[in-house]
Amino acid sequence: MKKTLLMIMTVLLLAGCGEKEGKNPFYSDYSNKFGAPPFEEIKVEHYLPAFKDGIKQAQEEIDLIADNADAPTFANTIEALDYSGELLTKVSSVFSNLQSADTNDELDAVAKEVSPLLSEHSDNIYMNVKLFARVKALYETKDELGLNGEQARLLDKYYKQFVQSGANLNDEQKIRLREINKELSALSLAFGQNVTKETGNYKKIIENEDELIGLPESVKQAAAEEAGEVGKWAFTTQKSSWIPVLQYSENRELRKELLLAYTNRADQNNEFDNKEIVNKIMKLRIERAQMMGYDNPAQFILENTMAKTPAAVMDFLHLLWAPSLRQAKAEVTELQKMMDAEGKGEKLEAWDWWFYTEKLRKEKFDLDEEAIRPYFKLENVRQGAFDLAGKLWGLQFRKLMDMPIYHPDVEAFEVSDTNGSLIGIFYTDYFPRKGKKVGAWMSSFREQYKKEGVDHRPIVVNVCNFTKPTADTPSLLTMDEVTTLFHEFGHALHGLLSQCTYPLLSGTNVSRDFVELPSQIMENWCFEPEMLKMYAYHYKTDEVIPDELIEKINATSTFNQGFIMTEHLSAALLDMYYHTGNKTEDVDINQFETDVMKQIGMIDEIIIRYRSTYFSHIFSGGYESGYYAYKWAEVLDADAFEAFVETGDIFNKNIAEAYRKNILEKGDTDDPMNLYLKFRGAAPSPDALLKKSGLK
């Protein structure tokens, strides 16, 4: 369970750890004054014993709660449950983070062994008849318990988790559900590992510089350093490597090869192929949902989200799909005209889109993204995000030079409130490497919670895969990477500013279609003129970005939105078509994907953002039936940012404080729409997003 929990009894600790006490870092309090994990002391061999002991101790605590002869109370049942399993949470938080950000074959082997143990442990909790009887007794008398809002929310959430985890099933069904959960855990792990290995294994080596025509020198230099040999250039399926090729390379075959290498990951009919895994995952999810009384997985999963139903999600996606597709088709026409003018007789293909879009951007707006990147030095952009948090909420960031880190790329910062009190610790890990998953995410080494009068402050991390520095050039971000940095920083703030009592409700532990609001609202500030003046300085001259460039950047705010929206929405629709299915026979995964794209009218010139075999969000990342959440939250963030714009001050402290108090600090202590209404006063409309995207 993803929680930070109660200190176990000394007798249990001694029973579980024995002579290991003091040798394994997980069995002792962390000595760092901020309670950060001692990464330099943690070895691979420490994980498995700590997992096993953590599970053992957590189970002993659960048994004490379930076997308690006293009548159930909120304190002796729900609160005790939420604070249980401290050692397990301790080792899980470190392991899960490193297994995503800095894994190797040894860690992957541990994950494979631990996965079924964790699945079984979760089932042992949620299928515990005596424990559920206590939870159910409290739930059925909740109006008589005198609970505050947060306590009532926690009780409600636990009761629903028990029910959705099979507590009401008969014994035979519970046995089968345990088997399903264990299989799903192993399959999801294997899916993610396959994607990571496929990404890490691919490298395109170029030995003839003539094949690199059109590429900026900075891109060629990065490729030369990736190759590590004089006279060679290497490109990978990391976005920071292949996207510049698609944008600038005159070599059409190279563009095609790299795009197809990226989009065919885990679809090579080799040992890392994910098609069979996708089939198995979907069959098991359908079986589980139907066992629970639902027709399909989407019904089962969406019940506790803002959207509530698959119909609401599909209506929302199609509302955005029609104008997005219409705009994408108009963009195809415009790009094809550019190609026709070259007289080559070529038809626009997916590997041409980025290249001709970049040309069109220059033609329409006289804007070359390579001319902007010198103003987006990574350290300056990060400082800009810090300064934004300072202007809005008075937060202060101080770099810590003596903090334990898990990789040399990682940096740590102490975050303080306006009065100097500790907010939390913030780690950043920004560059791609072998053993690191693609993409960008926020996670926690410790979540915020309060216990016995002590406010345990969070330790969070942002992990990204940005353009790496070279021997003579710092990391210079693309506009997309700038947006990603602000996005993930928004997630970090959601975790850092949490002011909740209970671990299960704190920070980012909210529904998928609400969790993206705090991240995506931060993107709105990125390229505002006032904001750019705060962080966009030329890395060589320290010259602030000129007004002329700012005007060009903002003129392109709705440029290429047909592509951007269509690429993303098609993936959200594919997710929903998978999870609204109710048949358990095998399907041809590629044909299924093709059929869905045909049904929604997807155009050939755009490839879906995530093809099935590397759609980690929904097959190994917890976003199943939930990828729509990004667009759902874009509606919220467009409306929420408008609250600042309406005042004429995008740094309005009163609005910022209301947003902090009603959204960022509240975690999942209330229904998300209630929290939003308390902040904004009215529900948002999709019109805000359509307007922002230039589609209305």
Do strands 459-463 and 204-206 pair parallel, antiparallel, or not at all (unpaired)?
A: unpaired
* pLDDT, tens digit, 9 for 90 and up, residues 587-622: 999 999 999 999 999 999 999 999 999 999 999 999
What gap in Å lies between CA 339 and CA 360, rounded to an integer? 11
Do strands 396-400 and 411-416 pair parallel, antiparallel, or not at all (unpaired)?
A: antiparallel
* Residues forming a β-bridge with 461: 427, 443
Average pLDDT for 453-474: 96
Nearest CA-CA partner of 463 in 201, 100, 42, 93: 100
Tell me which DSSP letter residue 119 carries. Answer: H
Angle ∠(636,638,641) on CA atoms, nearest 5: 105
| pLDDT at 15 (0 to 100) | 33
* Residues forming a β-bridge with 544: 537
| pLDDT at 14 (0 to 100) | 31
| pLDDT at 1 (0 to 100) | 36
Q: Is there a contact between 380 and 537 (Cβ–Cβ < 8 Å)? A: yes
| pLDDT at 658 (0 to 100) | 98
* pLDDT, tens digit, 9 for 90 and up, residues 198-224: 999 999 999 999 999 999 999 999 999
Q: Is 225 a catalytic residue?
A: no
| pLDDT at 7 (0 to 100) | 32
Please say if the pLDDT value at position 24 is more than 70. yes
Q: SS3 of 390, please?
A: helix
Q: Is 4 exposed, middle or buried (0-12, 13-18, 19+ CB in 10 A)?
A: buried
| pLDDT at 233 (0 to 100) | 98
What gap in Å lies between CA 677 and CA 253, rounded to an integer? 52
Please say if the pLDDT value at position 548 is more than 60. yes
Average pLDDT for 522-547: 98
> Predicted confidence band at 4 (pLDDT cuts at 50, 70, 90)?
very low
What gap in Å lies between CA 251 and CA 283, rounded to an integer? 43
Residue located via tokens 């590590």: 228
* pLDDT, tens digit, 9 for 90 and up, residues 125-161: 999 999 999 999 999 999 999 999 999 999 999 999 9
* pLDDT, tens digit, 9 for 90 and up, residues 74-86: 999 999 999 999 9
Which residues, 6+ apart, have CB-to-CB distance to 206 below 8 Å?
A: 212, 223, 232, 233, 234, 235, 254
* Residues forming a β-bridge with 204: 235
| pLDDT at 332 (0 to 100) | 98
| pLDDT at 688 (0 to 100) | 84
Domains and CATH numbers, the chain: 10-168 (1.10.1370.40), 202-263 (no CATH), 310-365+559-692 (1.10.1370.10), 373-507 (3.40.390.10)
Residue type, 347: K
What gap in Å lies between CA 96 and CA 276, rounded to an integer? 25
Q: Is there a contact between 392 and 647 (Cβ–Cβ < 8 Å)? A: no
Catalytic residue among 61, 198, 358, 488: 488
Residue located via tokens 């510089």: 209
Provide the percentage of residues in the chain whose pLDDT is more than 70.
97
* pLDDT, tens digit, 9 for 90 and up, residues 95-128: 999 999 999 999 999 999 999 999 999 999 999 9
Average pLDDT for 16-26: 60
* pLDDT, tens digit, 9 for 90 and up, residues 384-437: 999 999 999 999 999 999 999 999 999 999 999 999 999 999 999 999 999 999
DSSP letters along 546-586, please?
A: PHHHHHHHHHTTTTTHHHHHHHHHHHHHHHHHHHT----S-
Do strands 454-456 and 449-451 pair parallel, antiparallel, or not at all (unpaired)?
A: antiparallel
Half-sphere exposure in the Cβ direction for 569 (13 Å, CA): 27
Q: Is there a contact between 350 and 487 (Cβ–Cβ < 8 Å)? A: no
Q: Is there a contact between 224 and 186 (Cβ–Cβ < 8 Å)? A: no
Residue located via tokens 């190279």: 254
Residue located via tokens 């999801």: 188
Provide the whole-model pTM.
Answer: 0.93
φ/ψ of residue 454, rounded to 5: -105, 130
* pLDDT, tens digit, 9 for 90 and up, residues 345-362: 999 999 999 999 999 999
- 170, 175, 176, 179: CA torsion to nearest 10: 150
Angle ∠(474,479,484) on CA atoms, nearest 5: 90
